[in-house]
Each structure stands twice: as C-alpha cells, then as structure tokens.
Structure 1
C-alpha cells in the first residue's frame, strides 16, 4: 500500500461516537499516512453525545480507528493526545501513558526549521464554552442536527451524480456573526502565542482548517475537523506546514508519493 510520510501530523475534532464523524475517510487517512509525530488535538472521542442523549453509538469502524492510532504508537510514532471540551474527562489523566499514547493538556512542538508552536485544543479561549456550558450543549445539539441534514443532502447529491459538498460548512462561513467569531478566535490565540513566546499556535475546536500570519509575526494554524471538511495539518521534513483536505487531495498526494518510487 502506497503511503505518504510526514514528520508530523495534527488532527482534531473527529467526534468519534457520533454519527457525524466521517470515520470511513479518517480510517483511509490513517491507513495511507505515516508520521514521526501524531498529535490528537482534542474532541477525538465525543463524550458529550453520551451525556446528552440516551443510547450509545459506537460502531466497529470507530474501534478500528482507535486501534490504528494505538498501532502507530506501538510501531514507533510518538502519539500525543490533547483533550478538548468534548473529551475533557481525559484531562484528569494528563501526564499518563495509555497504550503508548501520551495524554497532555498542551504541548510545545519544535518544527524541523526550528520554529516552536504551542499545541492546544483551543476551547479555553471560547467564552461560550468557558462561561455558559448549557448554551454550549444546546449549540452542539443544533450543530449535529445540521450535520444530519447535511448527510441526507449529500445522499441526494450522490444519487444525482454530484460530488460531496458541505452545506453546514457553507452556511457557517456565510453567517456574519460566525465569521466574526472565527476572526476574534484567531486574534485571541495569536495573543496567547505572543504571551507564551512561541512562533505560533496549532489548535482545533472551531472546525475551520487554516494557516495564516497574525499579529506579532505569529502563525495561526487550525487542523479543521473530520465531520465536515476531513482535514489535517501536516509538517514535512523541512518544517513546512500545510493543510491537507483528504477528500480533495488524498489521491493526488498518494500519486505524488508513488512517482519517486516508480522512478527508483
């Protein structure tokens, strides 16, 4: 099986344990990507869904993904799990090691080019999550309803011969208040990077993958999610950071990785 190799990979907001998780694409990504460092940047397992709803959703496919992560750790990949707000119960285990996976509240990553990045989920700087937990739960329920509508919307698109398109992502980026929230979120996290005296920050939480230059010469990176966009942040051997959109870029990246092998 042809694979892409990166120095480091960051994924977040997979929301395993919910129907919104695009687990088949995430498993495909993990099967085709190797790395020296794998950061799980929060909201990997969605424990909120089990608290709010009656019933328990955990298909075999989600267990397959957990097993793949554990296998990577056993095979030499350094795996760091930084819990978010949806899996915050794991924060009490910070500093411990489970099946080769390190649990940390945050981490400092040094890129190959010497830059230092603070890695954290990012919910610490979301005032709704910090100060109004009940509203955050309601927002989560509304978001999952939107994802359900999005799934049926794409079933119809597929029957008509169209490619996958995220209705929820489109609406999110068209609502002025949400766009303003994302801008403010980036600004606040760039201030934290400046305070921590690092070159940038890598986070998740808001489900919008991005790399951009911010105030004080800091770099803001967001890993995106695996319920809408199926994105990851990766670092190559030179320290360059890139967002991978697996649904769009996956086969192109694998083809590019295969070319040197054929030439050899």
Structure 2
C-alpha cells in the first residue's frame, strides 16, 4: 500500500485565531484569506468577530463567489474534524442571540477562555464592548464606518498599482491610521482596557480583534494579542503545539509552493511571521 505524505506546503497548528474578515464589504480580502486557509490547518479555528459585515450588507448587498468560497472552506474544515468557534463582533452582532448554538459544525460563543498548550489562560473576545464609540454612540460609529470606507477605496487604487508593478499588498488605510495621533492613542487605551478585563477574569492573556491592529505584546504582565484583520493587514494568530504564539501576515497570494516558506519579517515577503515563544514574558 502506498502512503501519501502530508502536503509539505501546509503548516499545521494547534489553534488559529482569525478576525475582522468583513465578508459583505468590497474591501474584504477574501481571496487572500482563502489562500491562507489552503496553506494552514489547525485542530481549532477561533473566528474572533466581524467575520460577516452585517452593517454593510444592510446598506448594500454584496456577496461575490469569493465570499461563498471562504464560507465553504471553513465549513469543510469543520466537517473534516476541525473545531470552529465563532465569537460574534459588532458587525455580526445578530449572532449574539445564539450563544451555545451550533450551525453546520460551527459553535457560537459570546467569549471563551482558551487554554494554551503551555498552560496559559487566554480570554478570547472580539473587543467592541470596550469601544466607547460603538457602545454609546452608534450613529457616530456608522459615520466613522463610512469614512473608513473612503480610506479603503484609496487602498483599492494603491493595490491595483502595486499589482501591476509586481509588488506585494500594502495597506494605505493601515499606514494612515498609524500616522494619526488620536488613532494611535485610541489603540493604546483600547489595549489597556482589554488587558484589565483579562486580569479581572484571572487570565494570563487576552486575544481579540476589532481595532484592525495586529500585535503580540506584554502589557502590565498580561499578554495582549490582537489578530488584526483581512481588510487591511491580512493577518492571523497561530498557536503552535508547544503554546508558542505566532503572528502571520499573508501579503501576497501563494502562487507557487515556495511561497509559504518561512522568511524574515524584516524582508519583503509573501508571508511574514513574528513568533513569540512560550517563555517570553
């Protein structure tokens, strides 16, 4: 009997954390995410909110085949034995009425405690409940959403030009956000508040999304991890089987097997990875 070896181009993890895909928005990088899912497997995949963008779908229905492909890929992984946990965010808040419900093998939860392979306990939640604008000024949030759409529209132009030049994807909106002092201050305050919530839950760390700013860092003795998004940065968090956490940026479609090989995050790359070991603190 011939034994077929495992696909060397597919990386295997204990857990993957993905958030802020915004299916329903023209800005969603569904093709990048689908390519990422083809090259990454995990025992558990946690969808950390805003996977579907209900706000935009209410305004203007947009659902191309690529969005179906991503949905079917996730459901296919569930059928093959991957545990899929969906933690709704503010853009897909309609799912918050169904905690504990299973849809096609996908489990819905308001939040969860993730036990890392290294023994660390992580509070996992989307994070919008700590965004004062979203909680207390919904109309202001919607207006900000429209302004964000304008920045994303500029992204589309930049992306088209860079593709023609053979350059990897680069996010104008993400860059612009980092140049605005108020946005930088908001990110810092958001991180502090979420870290305090993790501390109140006796957790060693927190994994969230919402603000589209991917990072793995330590804040006041608590590990803060944000999985980023698939609108601007195309990022995900991967937990290795020893508990090590890795931030993966999927910059360019992997058109050839070598595209998924590890490269330094300081170099232009098809995939960039930042790894934080279990011993780091």
TM-score range (shorter-chain normalised) is over 0.9
User: 1:149-200: CA deviations, max 9, x gaps?
Assistant: 1111221233344432211111000100000000001100111111110101
Match of 2:89 among 63, 67, 84: 84
Q: Distance in 2 between matches of 1:248 and 1:212?
A: 25
Match of 1:176 among 174, 181, 185: 181
Match of 2:209 among 199, 204, 209: 204
Partner SS, residue 261 of structure 2: helix
Contact between 2:35 and 2:253, CA under 8 Å: does it hold in 1? no
Contact between 2:89 and 2:127, CA under 8 Å: does it hold in 1? yes
Q: Distance in 1 between matches of 2:48 and 2:252?
A: 22
In the other structure, the counterpart of 2:271 is: none
Task: Give unmatched runs, 5+ long, in structure 1.
Answer: 257-264
Q: Distance in 1 between matches of 2:168 and 2:115?
A: 38
* Counterpart check, 1:13 vs 2:20: yes
Contact between 1:4 and 1:253, CA under 8 Å: does it hold in 2? no
Partner SS, residue 16 of structure 1: coil
Q: Distance in 1 between matches of 2:259 and 2:161?
A: 29
User: 1:86-124: CA deviations, max 9, x gaps?
Assistant: 000000011100000000000110010000000000001
Q: Aligned-pair RMSD on alpha carbons?
A: 1.5
Contact between 1:7 and 1:36, CA under 8 Å: does it hold in 2? yes
In the other structure, the counterpart of 1:185 is: 190
State how many pairs are aligned. Answer: 253
* Counterpart check, 1:214 vs 2:219: yes
Contact between 1:211 and 1:243, CA under 8 Å: does it hold in 2? yes
**Superposition deviation, residue 249 in structure 1:** 10
**Greater share of residues in helix:** 1
* Counterpart check, 1:105 vs 2:106: no
Alpha carbons of structure 1 residues 253 and 196: separation in structure 2 relative to 1, 3 Å:
farther
Equivalences for 1:94-133 in 2 at 5 Å?
Answer: 94-133=99-138
In the other structure, the counterpart of 1:255 is: 261
Contact between 2:23 and 2:30, CA under 8 Å: does it hold in 1? yes
In the other structure, the counterpart of 1:259 is: none
Partner SS, residue 123 of structure 2: strand
Match of 1:237 among 235, 241, 245: 241
Q: Distance in 1 between matches of 2:158 and 2:27?
A: 13
Q: Distance in 2 between matches of 1:32 and 1:145?
A: 32
* Counterpart check, 1:137 vs 2:142: yes
Q: Please, what TM-score do these two structures have when normalized by structure 2? A: 0.87
In the other structure, the counterpart of 1:261 is: none
Q: Distance in 1 between matches of 2:182 and 2:245?
A: 29
Task: Give unmatched runs, 5+ long, in structure 2.
Answer: 1-6, 263-281
Q: Distance in 1 between matches of 2:173 and 2:110?
A: 30
Q: Distance in 1 between matches of 2:258 and 2:180?
A: 32
Q: Please, what TM-score do these two structures have when normalized by structure 1? A: 0.92
Contact between 1:210 and 1:221, CA under 8 Å: does it hold in 2? yes
Q: Distance in 2 between matches of 1:185 and 1:85?
A: 15
Contact between 2:32 and 2:252, CA under 8 Å: does it hold in 1? no
